[in-house]
Amino acid sequence: MRISLRVKDVMDDKIYMVDESTTCRDALKTMVEKGVWSLLVSREGLPVGVVTERDIIKKVIAKGMNLDGVRVAEIMSSPIITVAPDEPVARAMELMAVNDIRRVYVVDEGRVIGRVTQTTLFKKVLDLLMLLSDLTWYM
């Protein structure tokens, strides 16, 4: 029995975007309101980068900078690391490991349709492993 787990099977659609001119304070507010810890950053409506809570902590707060005085464009990571929805989950894991990142964005036909985070990936893979262990118990 071969199981093929694809990116689309583990992605979530919690994608939120802010304009590059957004302050870090407003970005943090959006993250808290939406229950996410990363936001796509847009320029003229198109995604150009990603800002995370860690970016804000390391690049702004830890340096004693004013959250209202720093725009997300100044601290975002770019380019966005992406993966296709039909790629194997292992590809998303590889991209995270190689790029030392915690999330990759899922792009289909030029549009961001989801994301895969380390946490979501871990939970989905753990669920699958638990299911498989239950199946082998009955065999």
Query: What's the pLDDT score for residue 128?
Result: 76
**Residue range 61-111, pLDDT digits in tens:** 999 999 999 999 999 999 999 999 999 999 999 999 999 999 999 999 999
Domain ranges for the chain, please list them: 7-138
For the cut 70, the answer to whether the pLDDT of residue 1 exceeds it is no
Residue pair 48/20 in contact (Cβ under 8 Å)? The answer is: yes
Superfamily of domain 7-138: CBS-domain (3.10.580.10)
Task: Tell me the pTM.
Answer: 0.85
